[in-house]
Structure 1
């Protein structure tokens, strides 16, 4: 072996090591990495609020940004007003559609999973039938949808947005409203 072949072996070893490192990182990124749940601001919501009970229904879209499935154990909606008072509404039921009706019940809260690189839409009804310190005032709220996921402890924030509570024109009727700043008339039957 002569001295001129030693740099060639070193260059080949460096290229091979880089190729191996790229392969391992690519495998981890595409097949092993734990993703994050992402969600998107709803453009509409269903609502009913009275003195001792409140229900808010949101079309929640969850997207898993990684390859491993994510287990969703629980959901809650946190509403904060300008006065500093916060309401926490637990996941009450899952529904078949956003517009409230008698026959739209799908299921009670249950653990579910979001496959890797996939999205899923669920119509989540957050609320309390008794013990609510309300009703919700006709004002905007800083809302946060939070989840308990299988790979973390405690509540994880998924989405923060402004819930246009001022658009709720018939609070004792459970109907659908726009979450736009200037909302059209509510849909549904009061």
Structure 2
């Protein structure tokens, strides 16, 4: 496993900048509503999906959007669609397992098809909305790029089926068609 090392001068500069930023009233990471972390998956032995979550800069009741990247195996966390934050709460997920910072210690947790990936993402969303219950009632959109065109309809179907069967927290899914998902990604981001 590769580790990153930083020089002492670099770390001092970061600490000084952080202190100056808070001294002069610049927003902190907490103020900006940014969260990152892992959720474990109940259908796995040891898998953890990593995510970044950015709260809307406009209104906490703005829609929740999950951004999926393609590849397969491309991390969603390298995307920087800041304009989305003006109109939505945005989730990036490193998926499938062993992409980006997501990991598993058991090879049986690796996924090789859209159904398995969509089950993992559904479990992720259940954990996410359990941690953020105030967002569960908000409109929910699935979007992405490239190979995510395979995952988007699979996840939309999984969410729809989970809602119908009352398997957990009801997710207020607003898009169930891949063509509509593509259109959603281009709605006015101001």
State the TM-score, normalizing by the size of structure 1: 0.29
- Which has a greater percent of helix? 2
Rg larger for? 1
- Which has a greater percent of strand? 1
State the TM-score, normalizing by the size of structure 2: 0.29
Larger relative contact order (Cα-Cα within 8 Å, sequence gap ≥ 6): 1
